[in-house]
Structure 1
Amino acid sequence: MSGTGAPGSRRVPAPDVARGLMLWVIAVANVTVWLWDAGPLGGLRDRPLGTGASTAAWTADDAVNLALSALVDGRGFPLFSFLVGYGVGQLAAREAARGADPATVRSVLLRRYAWLAPIGAAHAVLLFPGDIVTAYAVGGVLLALLAHDSTRLLLALAGAGTVLTALYGAASAVAVDGRTAFPGLHAPTAAEHLAATVAEGLGVVAYAPLQLLGLLPMMLLGLALSRTRVLERPGPHRRAILLVAAVSVGAGLLTGTGTGLFTAGRTDPAPGPLALLTAADAVTGAAQGIAYALLIALVCDRVLHGAPAGPAHPVLWALQALGRRSLSGYLAQSVLFTVLMPPWALGLGEDLGPVDALLVGTSVWLLTLLAAVLLERRGRPGPAETLHRRLHLGRRVGS
Structure 2
Amino acid sequence: MTAQRTDGATQGARASRITSVDALRGFSLLGILLVNIAFLASGFRMAGMAEPAFQSTLDWGVRWSVTLLLENKFYLLFSFLFGYSFTLQLDSAVRRRMPFTPMFLRRVAGLFLIGIAHAVLLFPGDILTTYAGVGLALLLLRKLSPKNAIMLAVVLTSLLALGFVFLAGLAALGLDTAGTVSHGVAEAIKSDRSLAGSAGQIVSEHLRKLSLIVLLRLLFQGPAVLAAALIGLAVGKLGLLRDPSAHTKALRRLQWVGFTVGLGGAAVYTMSAWTGTVHKFLGEALDLVTAPLLAAAYAATFLRLLPHMPRLAGLLAAPGRMALSNYLGQSLICGLIFTGYGMALVDRVSPPSEVLIALGIFTAQVTYSRLWLRGHRYGPVEWVLRYLTYWNRPGRTLEAAPAPQAAQP
- TM superposition score normalised by structure 1: 0.82
1:381 corresponding residue in structure 2: 378
Partner in structure 1 of residue 369 of structure 2: 372
Question: For 1:336 and 1:17, how far apart are their aligned partners in 2?
Answer: 22
What are the equivalent positions in structure 2 for 1:337-376 lying under 5 Å apart?
337-343=334-340, 345-376=342-373
Partner of 2:94: 96
Match of 2:156 in 1: 161
- Pairing 1:188-227 to 2, within 5 Å after superposition: 188-201=197-210, 209-210=218-219, 211-227=221-237
Q: Which residue type is aligned with residue 107 of structure 2?
A: R
Q: Give yes or no for the alignment of 1:240 onto 2:250.
A: yes
**C-alpha offsets along residues 13-71 of structure 1, whole Å, 9 cap, x if unaligned?**
2221111111111111111113348xx65995x5548988xxxxx82222222221221
The answer (yes or no) to whether the contact 1:161–1:213 under 8 Å persists in 2 is yes
Report the equivalent of 2:136.
Answer: 141
What is aligned with 2:240? 230
Secondary structure class of the residue paired with 1:348:
coil
Look up the match of 2:116.
121
Per-residue deviation, 1:319: 0.7
How many residues align? The count is 373
Matched with 2:179 is 175
Q: 1:296 aligns with which of 291, 302, 326?
A: 302
- Partners of 1:144 and 1:92 in 2: how far apart? 10
Aligned to 2:21: 15
Determine if contact 2:40/2:338 at 8 Å carries over to the other structure: yes
Greater per-residue helix proportion:
2
Asked if 1:391 is matched to 2:388, the reply is yes
Q: Deviations over 1:212-267 (max 9, x none)?
A: 1221111111101111222221122211111022211222211222333455x5x4
User: 2:268 aligns to what?
Assistant: 258
Q: Is the 8 A contact 2:196 2:344 kept in 1?
A: no
Report percent identity of matched pairs: 27
Preserved CA contact (<8 Å) 1:88 1:109:
no
Inter-CA distance 396–379: structure 2 relative to 1 (3 Å threshold)? closer
Unaligned runs of 5+ residues in structure 1 are: 53-57, 305-312
Distance 2:255 2:104 in 1: 30
d(CA) in 2 for partners of 1:339, 1:112: 29
Contact 2:106 2:389 in 1 (8 A): yes
Q: Which moved more, 1:104-113 or 1:141-150?
A: 104-113
Which amino acid in the other structure matches residue 253 of structure 2? L
Superposed CA deviations along residues 89-129 of structure 1, whole A, max 9, x for unmatched, are 122123334456xxx33343333223211111111122211
- Which residue is equivalent to 2:287? 281
The amino acid across from 1:338 in the alignment is G
Q: Contact 1:169 / 1:280 at 8 angstroms: preserved in 2?
A: no
Question: Structure 2: 5+ residue runs without aligned partners?
Answer: 7-13, 169-176, 396-401, 403-409
| CA-to-aligned-CA distance 1:165-222 (integer Å, 9 cap, x gap) | 4257667995396565993762423321123324544766787544312211111111
TM-score, scaled relative to structure 2: 0.80
Aligned residue for 1:227, secondary structure, equals helix
Residues 1:114 and 1:370: Cα distance change in structure 2 (over 3 Å) = same
Does the CA-based 8 Å contact 2:25-2:323 persist in structure 1? yes
Contact 2:244–2:303 (8 Å) recurs in 1: yes
Return the alpha-carbon distance in structure 2 between the equivalents of residues 174 and 372 of structure 1. 42
Give the aligned CA root-mean-square deviation in angstroms: 3.2
Shift of 1:372: 1.0
Residues of 1 paired with 2:75 and 2:313: CA distance?
Answer: 21
1:310 matched residue in structure 2: none
